[in-house]
Amino acid sequence: MSSRVRVAVAQINCTVGDFEGNSRRILDMAAGASRAGAQVLLTPELALSGYPPEDLLLRRAFYEASDAALGKLAAQLLQFPDLHVVVGHPLAREGRRFNAASVLHGGLVTGTYCKHDLPNYDVFDEQRYFTPDNRPFVFEVGRTRFGLNICEDTWYPYAPECAKAAGAQVLLVLNGSPFHLGKQAL
């Protein structure tokens, strides 16, 4: 088995609340990544729900829709057996809400990482919606161990250091940022 792993990045324009459409976009990107020989596909932060979902994150039904879409997407991705797809999504567990990223492979959610550092400025009001986590997540493809971080996690040393301490050789970072006029000029 080769020690090389090809990673594809899905730069997609997700729509807030459109779980079906966002899943379709991810599936389309998975098809392209698979054709290109990739073993890993990285989607944006909260790709499944769209970003930023803001007060929709206060509704239990939003998380239920996310869970259902994630399970359905995992099953649909079975058609790409060599591809591990990292999907950003909201997650509610045990009364807490997280900004999460899960690895989908073999028709299953094989593991989940939850964002450590939650921004709290401008439209990034994540401390209102999410609970920070402090656990790393590492998954292996071939002989390469990948760690996950989400956006602001990489602005501070703790989350990347946790991934490295857990054995990550490569750090994959999901990122999402809302568009506004003039943003590219910044």
Instruction: Report the pLDDT value the prediction gives residue 183, as an integer from 0 to 100.
Output: 56
Domain-embedded: residue 1: no
The residue type at 119: P
Instruction: Report the pLDDT value the prediction gives residue 3, as an integer from 0 to 100.
Output: 76
**Residue 96 phi, psi (nearest 5):** -120, 150
pTM score of the predicted model: 0.93
Domain-embedded: residue 62: yes
* CATH code: domain of residue 65: 3.60.110.10
Number of domains in the chain: 1
Domain-embedded: residue 19: yes
Q: Which of 115, 126, 152, 162 is catalytic?
A: 115
Domain-embedded: residue 186: no
- The model's confidence at residue 1, banded by pLDDT at 50, 70 and 90, is very low
- The model's confidence at residue 182, banded by pLDDT at 50, 70 and 90, is low
Domain-embedded: residue 124: yes
Cα 28 off chain centre by: 16
Q: Which of 14, 45, 114, 152 is catalytic?
A: 45
**Digit-coded pLDDT (tens) for 100-115:** 999 999 999 999 999 9
Residue 36 DSSP symbol:
T
45 carries an active-site annotation: yes
Q: Do the beta carbons of residue 147 and residue 42 sit within 8 Å?
A: no
Collect all residues with Cβ–Cβ distance below 8 Å to 109 and sequence separation of at least 6: 70, 71, 74, 102, 103
Q: In 3-state terms, what secondary structure has residue 94?
A: coil
Name the burial class of residue 11, with classes exposed (0-12), middle (13-18) and buried (19+) by CB atoms within 10 angstroms of its CB.
Answer: exposed
Buried b (16+ CB within 10 A) or exposed e, 118-147: beeeeebbbeebbbbbeebbbbebeebbbb
Instruction: Report the pLDDT value the prediction gives residue 86, as an integer from 0 to 100.
Output: 99
Question: Residue range 40-44: average pLDDT?
Answer: 99
Distances, alpha carbon 174 to alpha carbons 27, 35, 46, 61, in Å: 17, 22, 9, 24
Domain-embedded: residue 184: no
E strand or H helix at 86: strand 84-93
- Separation of alpha carbons 177 and 28, rounded Å: 21
Q: Which of 14, 114, 126, 151 is catalytic?
A: 151
Instruction: Report the pLDDT value the prediction gives residue 59, as an integer from 0 to 100.
Output: 97
Domain-embedded: residue 165: yes
Q: Which residue range(s) make up the domain with 135?
A: 7-177
Domain-embedded: residue 101: yes
